[in-house]
Amino acid sequence: MTDQPLRQILTKPEVSGRMTKWAVELAEHDIGYQSRTAIKAQALADFLAEGASLTLTELSPLREDVRTKEPWVLFVDGASSKEGSGAGLLLISPTGEELTYALRFDFLASNNEAEYEALLTGLRIAHQMGITAIKVRSDSQLVVLQVRGEYEAKEEVMKKYLAKVQEAIALFDTFEIEQVPRSQNKRADALSKLASSSFAHLNKGVLVEVVRQKSIDQVQVLAIDSSATWMTPLVDFLDSSVLPENKTEARRIQLRVAKYAYAGGTLYRRSYLSPWLKCVTPEEGDYVLCEVHEGLCAAHVGSRVLAKKCLLLSYYWPLIFQDAVALVQKCRACQSAALESHTSSYPTNGRQFAENPFKSWCAELGINQHFTSVGHPQANGQVENVNRTILQGLKIRLELAQSNWLDELPSVLWAYRTTPRTATHEIPFSLTYGVEAVVPAEIGLPSPRTQNFVASTNEEELRYNLDMLEAKREEAAVRM
């Protein structure tokens, strides 16, 4: 649907050579002409085509002037539908410049929650721009009167949102909120409906942000003593021989400290897998786990292999195994792709295992029998095992990737090649190149080897690794 003059092109292509060429091009797509009888269906398209949209970067020249006593006006609106939820913002400066913004919520939200999310995001953007005086206009009676204190927030979720709004209001010198009719909030309303509907084919000129987490679920960063972690007692003793006053705790620290070393302001733990493991906080550990399990080259492995992979990357924190278990249990893709039943994987041969009473006994206990053949002793099943693992990785990712399995294949292969295998106890990548691959987690949270990287000697060290690779492959073959 468009208000552009296409009728003449579609019905009378003899106007000019260029018009004829366009008519031929359009004829391939079976486009028909229909007169527009109402403006409602065209409201969003008109708004996008004719509305003035400024991004945050386009408003950067105004930043020096935003700290004015004249208030800015913020129009907000939220919307929720079966296809999703979203919000629209319209921020107008005292001199008339406008900023339009659309938010797409990647979580379930009611209409009231979407209204609050719109308000919070608008205040957050205004504060980041340095605005100190603001007037908010919203068509939500509930939100406006709750913020004013005229309505009481009874639901727990509304109480949390109201508390967040009050924190945001405290950042402004002047704040005012007023309810306006929907007719005066058309542009914000159009943006909210646009973002809450399917936006896979939106014009790329429209700035639409996807919000992954509710505002009330976001942890506020406070200025606290960052050194107060599980590593603090160990660092205090290794660095300055300071022990806790409690004798039992002091004795415990003295016994534990034998496994740790403190160098260059970083605590390391001696390991049986590698020389040193870098000690990290639980928050940093969560980042490493998420990056390895769900990141760019996600492995989606079990909790034990996930924890082992983090240890092989030279990271350590005491709750690494518990955190890995919790992450895998919460991973929707892993749980949905889990096997529905466990079957016996032990090879059986001979009639005594294929006939009654053993066959009936297995059936009563729900044991599925799988018979193997030694007709091809040169085949050890490794190729089938690799293919099965790759297919399982694709199956987990296809929930989000739909039919684009080919685009996900490189990531699945990378995850497979950088994960230690049970048969060899080695990483396929290291058996090929003689060194473990650097994974994305080591970029976000530098590991000891990325911290101590020296470009001038790296090439030489890689060649040494290749010289010693033959012995490593022999050991892997023996274990397999």
257 and 141 in a common domain = no
* pLDDT of amino acid 188: 73
* pLDDT of amino acid 49: 52
pTM of whole model > 0.85?
A: no
Amino acid 433 reads Y
94 and 171 in a common domain = yes
- CA dist 398 → 328, 331, 394, 402, 406 (Å): 18, 14, 6, 5, 10
Question: What's the CATH number where 303 sits?
Answer: 1.10.340.70
* pLDDT of amino acid 123: 92
Q: How do beta strands 208-211 and 260-263 pair?
A: unpaired
Residue whose token pair is 């704040």:
175
Whether 359 is covered by a domain: the verdict is: no
77 and 25 in a common domain = no
63 and 29 in a common domain = no
Asked, as a colleague might, if the bond just before 282 is cis with ω within 30 of 0, I would say: no
161 and 120 in a common domain = yes
Q: What is the distance between the alpha carbons of residues 262 and 267, in angstroms, rounded to a whole number? A: 5
Full pLDDT tens readout for the chain, 480 residues: 666 666 666 665 555 667 777 777 776 676 766 665 554 445 555 555 554 444 444 444 444 444 457 889 998 888 887 777 888 888 888 888 888 888 888 778 888 888 898 899 889 888 888 889 999 998 888 899 999 988 888 888 888 999 999 999 998 989 999 988 877 777 777 776 766 665 544 444 455 566 767 777 665 554 445 457 888 888 888 988 888 888 888 888 888 888 888 988 889 888 776 678 889 998 888 888 888 887 766 667 778 788 888 888 888 888 888 888 888 888 877 776 654 434 444 444 756 677 788 888 888 888 887 766 554 545 556 777 788 888 887 877 776 556 677 777 888 888 888 888 877 888 888 888 888 888 777 777 887 778 777 888 888 777 767 766 777 788 888 887
Whether 264 is covered by a domain: the verdict is: yes
Whether 224 is covered by a domain: the verdict is: no
Cβ neighbours of residue 136 closer than 8 Å, sequence gap 6 or more: 74, 76, 119, 122, 123, 175, 176, 177, 178
136 and 254 in a common domain = no
The dihedral region occupied by 265, where left means phi > 0, alpha psi between -120 and 50, and beta the remainder, is left
Helix axes 282-294, 303-312, angle to 10 degrees: 110
Domain total in the chain: 3
Residue 96 belongs to what domain range?
A: 47-217
201 and 78 in a common domain = yes
319 and 271 in a common domain = yes
Q: What are the beta bridge partners of residue 98?
A: 92
- Paired tokens of 188: 């914000």
- Give φ, ψ of 176 to 5 degrees: -145, 140
Cβ neighbours of residue 179 closer than 8 Å, sequence gap 6 or more: 137, 138, 139, 140, 141, 144, 145
Which of 335, 360, 393 corresponds to the end of one domain?
Answer: 335
Which of 217, 243, 272 corresponds to the end of one domain?
Answer: 217
